[in-house]
Structure 1
Amino acid sequence: MTTLLDKPVRTAAHSDGRAAAVARRARLARMSFYVPAVLYLVIFFGYPIVANLVMSFQNYSVTSFYDGDAPFTGLANYAGILTDDLFSTTLWNTAVFTLASLILQFAIGLGLALFFRRRFPLSGTLRALLLLPWLLPLLVSGTVFRWLLDQDYGVINQVLLNLHLISDPVPWLVSPDHAMTAVVIANVWIGIPFNMVILYGGLQSIPPQLYEAASLDGAGAWQKFRHLTWPLLRPVSSVVVMLGLIYTIKAFDVVMVLTQGGPADSTQLLSTWSYQLSFTNLRFGQGAAVSNVLIVIAMLCALVYLRAVRAEQSER
């Protein structure tokens, strides 16, 4: 026989079951949003990385694409590139190219961000125009700089000659002494807008009242930058530098368009050397090994960055 006390008990149990079902559906709905992203990462990032890693341990040739026969060679491909005289050259060139590009991009981008923080007529239009290098395809940017830096007909040489800064045209792209400078200039021009936009956003988040208080205390422009702007901008700066490092260390398009790693391997980077080994020399195993070395270097840089950020947060 059902009593009046059983009805509230059943109602409570029914409510608990309905709440659990709703929670399960909500959990499934949240998980469904992860599925496309996970599938995308697995298909377009996970599989290529695994396939490249496997290829680096094989003697992969053109015939391997047809018959699927790629003998396992162990660490022979890695030993081959590490003992190659070109490895140290490309490693040094990659370091020089990356550090020079990062320093110049960040310094100029920060200077422009500080400049545009001041409101003046057409400031928005000028900011939009400065974004063009970042919006253009890298192939187009490289082609433009190839024309600008041409030894005989390049605009840059003509301007320098007319200003009497040089007496003879500079062989920007055909001289081992100038080629690295040329590709760094092109890469810096492409990367400045990214640095400027992110740093400008970071500057906009700093309360103007802090600068007003500093002015009342008699602080000058340099003191405001040193004691206010730079400390408050440091988290944004760390992100900009890290993203710039990841982007620059794997740079490929601009160098290939301008110099193709030459002359005399003076601009040969790890990325361009990997391409040359794979698609010019048809040594796919060694090309894969070089690209894996590049991935490891990028991961180490990311780990150093994360450790530095964690240490900085723990000190606060």
Structure 2
Amino acid sequence: MSATLQKSGHRATLGGPAPAAPRRRPTSQQWAAWAFLTPVTLYLVLFYAYPLYRNLDLSLRHYTVRSFVQGDAPFTGLANYRTVLDDPTFAPALLHTVVFTAVCLVFQYALGLALAVFFNQHFRLSATLRALFLVPWLLPLIVSASTWSWMLNSESGVVNALLSAVGIDPVNWLTSPDWSLASVIIANVWIGVPFNLVVLYSGLQSIPTSLHEAAAIDGANAWQRFWRITFPLLRPVSAITLLLGLVYTLKVFDIIWIMTKGGPADSSTTFATWSYQLGFGNLVPAFGPGAAVGNLLVVAALVFGLIYVRVQRKQALS
């Protein structure tokens, strides 16, 4: 009988609930990790998450100056987005944004890559000249834009003076609808080339020279070595360079506004300048439509960012 009681007690012990494990207190390393994460989290919330939320809220309500102060704007849903899509400025602004972004990316990358390959030869004064090429990137944008406005001035600009010296008629760079977009593209390309040069040059430094030496021994010329060795190995760096250039170029505002203010006749208006004009450039500001245009830029940058992440993931798996 005692054996039976012992067995039943043993079964009760096995079948009963397990004792609760003691709760572990955070270690000093975990507290340190949270301490390091807190400033980054606060920065992202205050300067990224909250502004995005406010911009989305602006685009979904009918804000006036009074309601913007008092905070009683009525909810209108997607009405501001419909207003933007129906606006006659939408199509030209979209076209100008696409052209401005695409042309700037192509020329900035091509010129930056050419200069990176050139300076990768490590000739005398290479470091000095490379540092001088960084000047446009280091200058404040207002200084660069003002300088280009002076150089492209129709009457007293140095560019038209050089054209007249070779027998070419002066061009109304900033006041002609046919040339205003080209003018801001030229200025933005000049500003963006140094960034591409720096990033692509650092990518070239990571390519082993032994690969080029082996290819040269096998009889490959300079172009074959570049196209079959340098360019393929530079693709990861090129991808991030183009992505960062795309995000930056989509939101370019300073150069265009200082040089042309989006004119004449909206001939150089992009989504960035149009958003500013709607929100702050009129006596009666249209906060909702202006925020809607800004959100379209955010969505475009997000789409290209997701495409980049997916391409990089495929390359890593392959």
TM-score normalised by length of structure 2:
0.90
2 CA distance for matches of 1:295 and 1:136? 26
SS in 1 for 2:27: helix
Pick the aligned partner of 1:28 from 25, 28, 31: 31
Give 1:71 deviation, angstroms: 1.5
Aligned identity (percent) is 52
Large movers: runs of 4+ above 3 Å: none
**Deviations 1:210-247 (Å, cap 9, x if unpaired)?**
11111100000110001110011111000100000011
Question: Out of 57, 63, 67, which is 1:64 matched to?
Answer: 67
Matched, 1:141 2:148: no
Partners of 1:163 and 1:206 in 2: how far apart?
Answer: 44
**Alignment partner, residue 263 of structure 1:** 264
Cα distance between partner residues in 2 of 1:135 and 1:312 = 34
For residue 67 of structure 1, report the CA deviation from its aligned partner.
Answer: 2.7
Equivalent of 1:284 in 275, 287, 297: 287
Describe the SS at the equivalent of 2:177.
coil
Q: Distance between the aligned counterparts of 1:261 and 1:130, measured in 2? A: 28
SS across alignment from 2:264? coil
Structure 1 residue 88 displacement after superposition = 1.2
The aligned runs of 1:166-315 (5 Å cut-off) are 166=168, 168-281=169-282, 282-315=285-318
Question: What is the DSSP-based 3-state SS (H/G/I as helix, E as strand, rest coil) of the residue aligned with 2:31?
Answer: helix
Displacement, 1:62?
1.1
Q: Give the unaligned 5+ runs of structure 1.
A: 1-16
Residue among 111, 117, 122 paired with 1:119: 122
Structure showing greater radius of gyration is: 2
Structure 2 equivalent of residue 132 of structure 1:
135
Q: Deviations over 1:19-51 (max 9, x none)?
A: x76x72101111211110110110111111101
Aligned twin of 2:108 = 105
* Distance in 2, Cα, partners of 1:66 & 1:273: 23
CA distance in 2, matches of 1:269, 1:124: 37
Query: For 1:90, which of 90, 93, 97 is the aligned residue?
Result: 93
Q: Tell me the amino acid that sits aligned with residue 171 of structure 1.
A: N
| In structure 2, C-alpha distance between the alignment counterparts of 1:294 and 1:198, rounded to whole Å | 25
Q: CA deviation at 1:308?
A: 1.7
**Corresponding pairs, count:** 294
What is the aligned-residue RMSD (CA, Å)? 1.3
Q: In structure 2, what residue type is equivalent to 1:303?
A: L
Of residues 75, 87, 92, the one that matches 2:78 is 75
1:163 shift after superposition = 2.3
For residues 46-72 of structure 1, the C-alpha deviation after alignment (integer angstroms, 9 at most, x for no partner) is 111101111111111111233332121
Q: CA offset at residue 314 of structure 1?
A: 2.2
3-state SS of paired residue (1:263): coil
Taking structure 1 as the reference length, the TM-score comes to 0.90
2: distance between equivalents of 1:305 and 1:92?
A: 23
Quick one: which of 153, 156, 175 aligns to 1:153?
156
Partner Cα separation in structure 2 for residue 202 and residue 163 of structure 1: 40
Q: Distance in 2 between matches of 1:196 and 1:66?
A: 46
CA distance in 2, matches of 1:163, 1:31: 66
Instruction: Determine the structure 2 residue equivalent to 1:46.
Output: 49
Q: What letter matches 1:178 in structure 2? A: W
Paired amino acid for 1:266: S
| Distance (Å, rounded) in 2 between the aligned partners of 1:33 and 1:279 | 38
Deviation of 1:73 after TM superposition, in Å, equals 1.4
Alignment partners' CA distance in 2, 1:170 and 1:53:
42
